[in-house]
């Protein structure tokens, strides 16, 4: 089953991880935030099914903040991330759909704008990439990055209106390289947006945030994707 790749290498969640802090209400959600609070440019990191307490995701948020952005990692699952063996993924997804994530993300963006943020980017991992795809169809965000996206379709990409980078894995049943090449072709016809599609050789779905920190090669490949993401945002949000 393709969706099984969504569940491989689950992180050990740690609510105390990261250099930032958790706010109790940002657009109705808890969120991990880090970076200069007065910054007018914010980046949303939209998690995979394991949620906002994953240490590698928070470490990446800290890295993005160190580049000068205010970073927000919302708890879209309201304290109920996917836990392997607790229930089947399809049952969990039925009550944690990306459509609900999209509605919640709009409220988070509205709350940020009310706080004085003027420019917003968003990066989505696996589940979160589908929410980013929906945001990218409107003017909610200026630039986006999808990392090993799940559930994103050709029809989604046809409607994209913001600058978009897609970072994919060579070994990915959710978004195989053939599909990403279709995305690339569609995006190349959109003269109004900049786009970039890169397929990382030898890596599997989830490699950007669900890597083993003790595996030097895995860390290096993840860090390459993080650098690509940062450069994309630096180019299109500043």
Q: What is the mean pLDDT of residues 211-229?
A: 96
**Could you tell me the pTM of the whole model?**
0.95
Strands of the chain, DSSP E: 21-26, 29-34, 41-46, 70-74, 119-125, 143-147, 163-171, 195-204
**Per-residue pLDDT tens digits for 45-99:** 999 999 999 999 999 999 999 999 999 999 999 999 999 888 899 999 999 999 9
| pLDDT over 90 at 2, yes or no | no
Q: What percent of the chain has pLDDT over 90?
A: 89
**Per-residue pLDDT tens digits for 86-124:** 889 999 999 999 999 999 999 999 999 999 999 999 999
Fold exhibited by the domain 5-237: Rossmann fold (3.40.50)
Q: Which residues contact 138 (CB under 8 A, 6 or more apart)?
A: 161
Contacts by 157-161 with C-beta closer than 8 Å and gap 24+?
A: 157/133, 157/182, 157/183, 157/186, 157/187, 158/186, 160/133, 160/136, 160/187, 160/190, 160/193, 161/136, 161/137, 161/192, 161/193
Which carries the bigger pLDDT value, residue 201 or residue 3? 201
Confidence label for 173 from pLDDT (cuts 50, 70 and 90)? very high
| pLDDT over 70 at 5, yes or no | no
Report helix, strand or coil for 224. Answer: helix
Confidence label for 3 from pLDDT (cuts 50, 70 and 90)? low
- Residues 217 and 207: beta-carbon distance below 8 Å: no
| pLDDT over 90 at 9, yes or no | no
Q: What is the mean pLDDT of residues 201-211?
A: 96
């Amino acid at each position: 089953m393709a969706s099984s790749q969504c569940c491989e290498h689950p992180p050990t969640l740690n609510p105390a991880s990261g250099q930032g802090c958790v706010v109790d209400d940002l657009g109705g959600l808890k969120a991990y935030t880090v970076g200069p609070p007065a910054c007018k440019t914010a980046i949303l990191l939209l998690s995979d099914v394991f949620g906002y307490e994953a240490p590698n995701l928070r470490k990446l948020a800290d890295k993005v903040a160190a580049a000068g952005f205010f970073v927000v990692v919302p708890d879209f699952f309201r304290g109920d991330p996917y836990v392997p063996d607790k229930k089947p993924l399809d049952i969990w997804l039925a009550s944690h759909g990306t459509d609900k994530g999209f509605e919640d993300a709009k409220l988070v963006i509205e709350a940020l704008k009310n706080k004085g943020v003027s420019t917003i980017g968003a990066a989505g991992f696996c589940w979160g990439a589908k929410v980013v795809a929906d945001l990218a169809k409107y003017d909610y965000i200026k630039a986006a990055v999808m990392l090993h996206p799940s559930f994103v379709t050709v029809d989604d990409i046809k409607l994209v209106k913001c600058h978009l980078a897609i970072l994919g894995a060579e070994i990915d049943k959710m978004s195989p390289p053939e599909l990403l090449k279709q995305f690339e072709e569609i995006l190349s016809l959109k003269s109004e947006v900049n786009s970039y599609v890169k397929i990382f050789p030898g890596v599997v779905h989830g490699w950007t945030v669900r890597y083993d920190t003790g595996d030097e090669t895995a860390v290096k490949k993840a860090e390459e994707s993080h650098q690509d993401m940062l450069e994309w945002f630096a180019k299109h949000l500043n």
